[in-house]
Structure 1
């Protein structure tokens, strides 16, 4: 089966009464419009999205009256940064921006993929953080930029 469009997302469409098969992907794979995947029931699928969009945790690849195939993102090794002041947030955001590291925000915390150099930086700047295995809904996306 080739999937060319996303039906919807489980946050918007009810799953009740349907059997759910899951496709487990890493957050890095969410940006791939073309890929081969296998469901947790062993069914092979090709994904070839016609529209230029990233996959999101909970996206429904297929749905009929009785079945759904849903994207589930596996956990990432993350640094969860808990700045205590606006100054601290600005400093760490500036430092991470200079390194072109993609970040995500959830409430009052900043999430970045684990990197021992970033951990050392956070310790040096005395910014509170924790290292956690956590599931993100969207891909960490690098922003295209060059220093010319």
Structure 2
């Protein structure tokens, strides 16, 4: 089976099929337009998205009256950074930017993928954080750069 488009998302779908298979994916796999995956029931699926769209947790890859195949994003190992001042936010944002680490924001929290050096830096700077497993809404995108 080749999937060329996402047909919906479980968060907004009006009805669900009685039989649901899941494709468990790491968050960094969500950005790949072409890939081969296997459902939790052992069915191999090729994904070749026509649109330049990232996959998301709950995306429905296939659905008929009886069956549904849904993307399930695995939890990432994260550092959830909770600066208590604008100074702390600026300090850690600058440090992470120098390391070219992608970050996401949810409310008052900054999320980065776990890195022991970042954890050490947070301790040194006295910036509150937690290490936790959590699903992220979108993939962490590594952005290339040059010093031209």
What TM-score range do you get, normalising by the shorter chain?
Answer: over 0.9
Partner in structure 2 of residue 30 of structure 1: 30
- Determine if the alignment matches structure 1 residue 77 to structure 2 residue 77: yes
Written as runs of structure 1 = structure 2, the 5 A alignment for 1:48-127 is 48-127=48-127
The answer on 1:138 being equivalent to 2:138 is yes
**What TM-score, normalized to structure 1?**
0.94
* Unmatched 5+ stretches in structure 1: none
- Number of aligned residues: 148
Q: What's the C-alpha RMSD, in Å, of the aligned pairs?
A: 1.3
- Looking at structure 2, the residues matched to 17 and 26 of structure 1 have their Cα atoms a distance apart, in angstroms, of 24
Q: Deviations over 1:64-91 (max 9, x none)?
A: 1222111001111111101111221121
Aligned pairs for 1:32-47 (under 5 A) are 32-47=32-47
| Superposition deviation, residue 97 in structure 1 | 1.0
Deviation at 1:106, TM superposition (A): 1.1
Tell me by how many angstroms 1:15 deviates.
Answer: 4.1
Paired with 1:56 and 1:17, the residues of 2 have a C-alpha distance of 19
> Using the alignment, how far apart are the partners of 2:122 and 2:87 within structure 1?
14
Shift of 1:144: 3.5
Q: Deviations over 1:4-60 (max 9, x none)?
A: 111111111134453211000111111111111111111110001111121111111
SS of the residue 1:105 aligns to: strand
Identify the residue that residue 21 of structure 2 maps to in structure 1: 21
The runs of 5 or more residues in structure 2 that have no matched partner are none
